[in-house]
Amino acid sequence: MKVCFLAHASNLTGANNSMLNLIFDLQKRNIEPYVIIPKKGLIEKKLKEFSIPYKIIKSYSRLNKIGTKNNIYKDTIKQFINKIAIIKIKKVLKQEKIELVHINSLINYVGAKAANECKIPYIWHYREFLDEDHGYELVNEKEVKYLANNATATIAISKCIYNKFESLLSNDNFKIIYNGIPLNNYQNYNLEITKEDLLNICIIGRISRGKGQLDAIKAVHHLLKIYPTIKLYVIGSPEDDIEYNDEITKYVESNSLSSNIIFIPFTENLYEYRNKCKINLVCSKKEAFGRVTIEAMLSNQLVIASNTGGNIELVEDKKTGLLYKENDYINLAEKIEFAINNKKEIKKIITTANKHAKENFSIDKTVDNVYNLYLDILK
């Protein structure tokens, strides 16, 4: 079975990592993948490493930052480039004899349009809220809605994503399939906990307002008088939210926090930091799923997460992690302090969470569900 996957970005985002995990395991079931990406980027290295055929076809997501005026001139150029992209994608679909198209993000409408025009069945994978998590809205909402309702099947990565879009779709084949993580990548993480481990904290993800790094920084700042050696590792790079990155940098500098707040640029190798830090913060305004949450559980880290979005589907308070009131850094600081002072209870939570993640979020389970969906569509 030949399946064409369309990525909305060319970096190694959570969405793209989830797509790659899916592709690698689907290959074991005689799925022949072909990937289309919108530009050069880090994902190419992975595709080449695993000898997965791909093509770069430049395209744009037609998004607008909520609260700002759409730039009609820029959007017109994007529309023109996208029209060319659709022609090129259709050519690839025909030449490669693609049987099924799998679109990896809600914002990648060019793939849906090309598949629809070629009359090839297409699955649309919804991995984001857009407004609540990224602060964007679709410029071409009517067009996307039409294409979404003509999709052969739609996948939501969490109940909260499903609930958001269910009423907007007349498509009956709308399923929840949680992301899966390759369990073999998380075998050698230490479960032993010292007080020093609990004073080393990390927050992982691109630097953006939706990820809430400033809440984490303020919480650690609040705890400094009690725990002067506490450290927060902010791991990730700003992509398009430079304003928020500047705001964070200014806060750290103006409060002389550079010894306690350590910025680490994007890195694929997180083993060192996951082993060093026993607490992993997930401060997202509204996480669609929370891949980083499951990765933390599998790495024997305590997850302290905001009580919104996909977080509340993955974290049961005081059983598989700790939940705090979103946007309340004082409450977050209280949860961190609780963890530091209750080592025995935290170890129990970490053990339970690790088991929960292994049983419910393995890549095998995800691939089973996606593969069966493919078979249902093409039978």
SS3 content of the chain, % helix, strand, coil (to 5): 45, 20, 35
pLDDT value of position 248:
97
Residue 169 shares a structural domain with residue 64: yes
Q: Across residues 321-330, what is the average pLDDT?
A: 98
Q: Which residues contact 320 (CB under 8 A, 6 or more apart)?
A: 297, 303, 314, 349, 352, 353, 356
The answer on 78 and 191 residing in a single domain is no
Residue 162 sits in the same domain as residue 85: yes
Count of structural domains within the chain = 2
More confident residue, 136 or 54: 54
Confidence category of residue 201, pLDDT binned at 50, 70, 90: very high
C-alpha–C-alpha distance, residues 245 and 242, integer Å = 5
Same domain as 372, residue 256 = no
pLDDT score of 264? 96
**42-51 pLDDT tens trace:** 999 999 999 9
* Kind plus residue range of the DSSP H or E element containing 252: helix 242-254
Q: Which residue has the higher pLDDT, 188 or 38?
A: 38
CATH number at residue 305: 3.40.50.2000
Domain coverage including residue 257: 184-360
188 and 268, same domain (yes or no): yes
Mean pLDDT over each residue of the chain, to the nearest integer: 94
- Based on the domain organization, do 372 and 320 belong to the same domain? no
Residues 156, 247: one domain? no
Per-residue pLDDT at 269: 87
Answer whether residue 348 shows pLDDT above 90. yes
Question: Tens digit of pLDDT for each residue in 157-172?
Answer: 999 999 999 988 877 8
- Lowest mean per-residue pLDDT among 63-77, 153-167, 288-302: 63-77
Whether residue 96 has pLDDT greater than 90 = yes
Cβ(75)–Cβ(153) under 8 Å? no
Same domain, 300 and 369: no
**Could you tell me if 68 and 176 lie in one domain?**
yes
Reported as a pLDDT band with limits 50, 70 and 90, residue 246 is very high
- Residue 321 and residue 373 in one domain: no
DSSP state for residue 185 in the 8-state scheme: G
